[in-house]
């Protein structure tokens, strides 16, 4: 079962106050089960942008069992006017009218995915690939095509996409992928990288790989859960970076929009440092 959560949020950015961080709050939230997400999200974004005119941002995070999408309605002021509030109500109405027209039923059941461990637990040893592009989207489709062409067994663990229309359009996409054990041979990995290098990938911000050892990862995650008092099944792998000296592991917490838990480990999986910026 895959759950889709949609949230409408207001983001306030006051350019008249120096070093004033953006603030945001939720005005509506909806949850669905087993619905097609791509067209739904594109349609809603276009409807919201048409209604508001400009200053709209989308943030989407997709894992094998869930997708969470935030539509951020941006205002460059510290306080909303009555007209702004009327606009917000009309945007909520447009979205809910879309749900009704397309017979989309809200899911009010308890999120069943919380009774299961993250899908990475059943994948075994392998490799984690972390890649990012700035300025647009389409990275996931590009990598999937390359992996399929090479016959590589892979699973997309997490896909983060951002899109913004605020005077000019822009975007970002980050993908975290698990690759099965066989590709860890240097020959197979060299073939894959040679294939990627044959393409024009100058738009890639980074493409990096690190080993994934299942037992070590589970031990680390269990330790993080104990230290942070976060349920282990709510710790979702967000990124993994490995160099000659250390390994950096980043977790996000399921259902929490802001903040991460970042670990610095040695190559034996021993935690040297932990930073928690998660806000409830």
Is the pLDDT score of 114 beyond 50? no
pTM: 0.84
Between residues 121 and 78, the one the model is more confident about? 78
Identify the pLDDT of residue 201: 66
Where would I find the beta strands (DSSP E) of the chain?
A: 3-12, 23-33, 56-63, 66-75, 126-134, 154-166, 168-180, 204-212, 235-242, 247-253, 261-265, 271-276
Q: What is residue 85's three-state secondary structure? A: helix
What pLDDT digit, counting tens, does each position of 221-245 carry? 999 999 999 999 889 999 999 999 9
């Amino acid at each position: 079962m895959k759950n889709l959560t949609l949230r409408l949020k207001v983001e306030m950015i006051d350019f008249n106050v120096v070093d004033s961080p953006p603030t945001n709050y939720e005005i509506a939230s909806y949850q669905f089960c087993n619905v097609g997400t791509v067209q739904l999200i594109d349609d809603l974004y276009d409807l919201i942008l048409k209604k508001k005119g400009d200053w709209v941002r989308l943030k989407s995070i997709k894992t094998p069992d869930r997708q969470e999408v935030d539509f951020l309605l941006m205002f460059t002021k510290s306080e909303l006017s009555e007209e702004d509030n009327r606009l917000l109500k009309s945007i909520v109405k447009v979205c809910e009218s879309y749900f009704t027209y397309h017979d989309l039923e809200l899911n009010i059941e308890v999120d069943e995915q919380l009774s299961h461990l993250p899908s990475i637990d059943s994948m075994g040893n392998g490799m984690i690939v972390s890649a990012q592009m700035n300025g647009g989207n389409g990275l996931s489709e590009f990598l999937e095509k390359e992996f399929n062409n090479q016959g590589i067994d892979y699973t997309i663990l997490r896909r983060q996409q951002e899109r913004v229309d605020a005077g000019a359009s822009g975007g970002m996409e980050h993908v975290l992928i698990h690759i099965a054990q066989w590709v860890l041979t240097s020959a197979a990995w060299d073939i894959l990288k040679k294939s990627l290098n044959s393409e024009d990938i100058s738009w890639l911000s980074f493409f990096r790989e690190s080993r994934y050892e299942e037992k070590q990862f589970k031990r680390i995650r269990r330790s993080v859960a104990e230290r942070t008092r976060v349920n282990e099944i709510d710790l979702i792998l967000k990124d993994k970076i490995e160099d000659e000296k250390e390994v950096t592991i980043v977790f996000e917490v399921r259902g929490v929009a802001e903040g991460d838990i970042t670990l610095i480990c040695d190559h034996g999986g021993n935690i040297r440092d932990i930073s928690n910026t998660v806000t409830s």
